[in-house]
């Protein structure tokens, strides 16, 4: 089953979806972190392939990316690491377009396939510039997830919904990744707009930092993506255990909420 089918089945069974983000190559134990996140109830896992100039990322993920690069993380190395994983959770890489085009579309897609990756998010490759990569990814069976933002108009949202694969990434705030004290006002509106526009799974991401925020956001969509709040724990020295515990708390928040209605 591909990513979209997997997410659909779970959603249709009444489950709220949880997709945590882990920076690839961040420390020797990073694959153990991924395993722990999977065990703690992730429905899919986003793996960041670090880029030197991550303009969609706030401080936390910038720092994690830099640390990973400093200790030698590369796209090929991360893909090779991932191929050693023995988990049953779909993987979605998130990176920027320069490393993708630098490797070459076909070669990059083939690396992901070899790493057992299901899908890719490339936030600086909008709909209008998608063609080369989009076609190569489709051909290789890599699902390219598109983002829709609070500023995206209805007509464009429709086109994004049609072209996205795997799920639709609803950008839950105006800004870059990073923890926030409160869920942005735009988050719910975004969730509702996206849900009204497509039957594909809709996940909200950006600024969702706590179990309560995750549950609140998931009310308006099919689920959430949580990045900086997890990565900060890793930067502060947390290992697989702490990552697993945090993801389990997010899982519990989402499950309690979907049970209570």
Partner 1 sequence: MSAPVRGDEVRLGPPGPPPQARGRFGEFGGRFVPETLIPALEELEAEFRTAWTSPEFRSEFAGLLSGYAGRPTPVTECRRLSEILGVRVLLKREDLTHTGSHKINNVLGQALLTRRMGKQRVIAETGAGQHGVATATAAALFGLECIVFMGAVDVERQALNVFRMELLGAKVIPVNSGSATLKDAINDALRDWVASVETTHYCIGSVVGPHPYPWIVREFQRVVGDEAREQCRGMLGGKDPDYVVACVGGGSNAIGTFAGFLDTDARLVGVEAAGLGLESGKHGASMSRGVPGVLHGARSLFLQDEDGQILEAHSISAGLDYPGVGPEHAALAASGRATYASADDEEALSGFQLLSRSEGIVPALEPAHALGWLQREAGNSVPLGSTVLVTLSGRGDKDAMQVAERLTGEPLE
Residues at the contact surface with partner 1, assessed by CB under 8 A:
51-58, 62, 66, 69, 74-76, 97-103, 123-129, 146-153, 156, 160, 171, 173-176
Nearer to partner 1, 71 or 174 (CB): 174
Compute the distance between CA of residue 152 and CA of residue 160 in angstroms, rounded to an integer. 9
CB of 50 to partner 1, least distance (A): 8
**Residue with the two structure tokens 């998931």:** 218
The residue among 17, 7, 36 whose CA lies nearest residue 225 is 17
Q: How far is the CB of 30 from partner 1 (least distance, A)?
A: 17
Distances (CA, A) of 128 to 94, 122, 132, 146, 163: 19, 13, 11, 11, 11
CB of 33 to partner 1, least distance (A): 22
Choice between 14 and 72, CB closer to partner 1: 72
* Distance separating alpha carbons of residues 139 and 80, to the nearest angstrom: 21
Catalytic residue ranges: 46, 57
Whichever of 111 and 210 has its CB closer to partner 1, that residue is 111
Cβ atoms of 226 and 233 within 8 Å: the answer is no
Q: 123 or 253: whose CB is closer to partner 1?
A: 123
Complex with partner 1: residue 86 or 154, whichever CB lies closer:
154
Q: How distant, in Å, are the alpha carbons of 43, 56, 182, 236, 239 from that of 175?
A: 25, 8, 14, 24, 28
Rounded to the nearest whole angstrom, what is the least distance from the CB of residue 231 to partner 1 in the complex?
Answer: 16
Quick one: CA dihedral 231, 235, 240, 244, positive or negative?
A: negative
CB of 89 to partner 1, least distance (A): 26
Burial (CB count <10 Å: 0-12, 13-18, 19+), residue 64: buried
Q: Is 122 buried (19+), middle (13-18) or exposed (0-12) by CB count in 10 A?
A: buried
């Amino acid at each position: 089953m591909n990513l979209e089918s997997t997410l659909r089945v779970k959603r249709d069974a009444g489950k709220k979806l949880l997709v945590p983000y882990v920076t690839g190559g961040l420390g020797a134990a990073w694959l153990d972190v991924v395993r722990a996140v999977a065990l703690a109830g992730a429905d899919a896992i986003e793996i960041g392939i670090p880029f030197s100039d991550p303009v969609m990322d706030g401080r936390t993920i910038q720092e994690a990316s830099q640390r990973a690069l400093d200790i030698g993380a590369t796209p090929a190395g991360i893909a090779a690491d991932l191929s050693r994983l023995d988990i049953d959770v779909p993987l979605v890489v998130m990176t920027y377009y320069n490393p993708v085009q630098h490797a070459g579309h076909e070669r990059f897609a083939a690396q992901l396939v070899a790493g057992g990756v299901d899908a890719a998010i490339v936030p600086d490759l909008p709909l209008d510039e998608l063609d080369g990569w989009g076609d190569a990814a489709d051909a290789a069976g890599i699902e390219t997830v598109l983002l829709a933002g609070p500023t995206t108009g209805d007509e464009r949202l429709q086109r994004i919904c049609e072209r996205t694969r795997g799920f639709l990434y609803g950008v839950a705030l105006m800004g870059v990744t990073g923890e926030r004290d409160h869920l942005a006002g735009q988050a719910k509106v975004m969730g509702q707009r996206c849900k009204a526009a497509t039957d594909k799974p809709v996940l909200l991401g950006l600024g969702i930092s706590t179990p309560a925020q995750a549950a609140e956001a998931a009310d308006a969509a099919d689920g959430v993506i949580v990045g900086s709040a997890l990565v900060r724990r890793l930067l502060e020295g947390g290992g697989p255990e702490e990552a697993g515990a945090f993801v389990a708390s997010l899982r519990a928040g989402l499950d309690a909420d979907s049970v209570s209605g």
